[in-house]
Amino acid sequence: MVNGISGMERNNRFTFSFYFLALQRVLGAPRLFFSELPVEMGFQKPFGFLLVSSLFYTAASLTHLHGRPWLGAAILLFNALAMPFITAGAGFMVMILTMGRQVTFERLFAVYAFSSGVVLLAAWIPLFVYVTEPWKWVLVGIGMIKGCGFKWTQAVMVIGLSVLIVVLFFWSLGPVIYRLKGGPA
């Protein structure tokens, strides 16, 4: 397809025209978008997409932050950028342990980055987490099926187990953080 993601730019440079085309395609036809992802996408375009969406999310979230808004903004930006890496890493680990190496980490990260980047545009609105979070995981599942060649049962398994691993990991950090803040031993 001439206007598709793979036909628009042959190099791996991120541009704003790529951002808006990718945004339009993920919102309008996610199955087609993920099925057209180039095999060797690299990190630059998915990370650039995620970065622009994360900056918008952080700027829009400043309307709700009180107290120390710059600290809050830094935390929100770090979280918006880090969580797709963390969840993609957990998903990659689950994929390798359960199915073997089906795709590269770059490709799986691209699925997570594009899915997260799209929902960040609405995630700053209070209470939209109940819409955006399930929507993100649906997009990740579509990306795994159409972009990585997983069966739907494999995609659900990878998503479910990786979310469980990430939740347990952050839950296990709770006592450590509490202790570092000066709580009793």
Q: What is the pLDDT along the chain (185 residues), one digit of tens a residue?
A: 445 555 545 567 899 999 999 999 999 999 999 999 988 888 999 999 999 999 999 999 988 877 788 888 999 999 999 999 999 999 999 999 999 999 999 999 999 999 999 999 999 998 898 999 999 999 999 999 999 999 999 999 999 999 999 999 999 998 888 888 877 76
Q: What is the pLDDT of residue 68?
A: 82
Radius of gyration of the chain (CA): 17
Token representation of residue 40: 């060797």
Task: Please report the pLDDT score of residue 185 as a whole number.
Answer: 64
pLDDT at residue 10, rounded to an integer: 59
Q: Return the residue matching tokens 């704003």.
A: 16
Residue 6 is predicted with a pLDDT of: 52
* Residue 118: Cβ-neighbour burial (10 angstroms; 0-12, 13-18, 19+): buried
Q: Which two tokens stand for residue 38?
A: 């180039």
Around Cβ 4, how many Cβ atoms within 10 Å? 16
pLDDT digits (tens, 9 = 90+) for 3-26: 555 554 556 789 999 999 999 999
Query: What is the dihedral angle through the alpha carbons of 41, 35, 121, 73, rounded to the nearest 10 degrees?
Result: -30
* Confidence at residue 5, expressed as pLDDT on a 0 to 100 scale: 56
For residue 63, the model assigns a pLDDT of 86
Count other C-beta atoms under 10 Å from residue 104's C-beta: 14
| pTM of the predicted model as reported, rounded to 2 decimal places | 0.89
Over residues 83-111, the pLDDT tens digits come to: 999 999 999 999 999 999 999 999 999 99
**Whole-number pLDDT of residue 2:** 43
Ramachandran area for residue 182 (φ above 0: left; ψ -120 to 50: alpha; else beta)? left
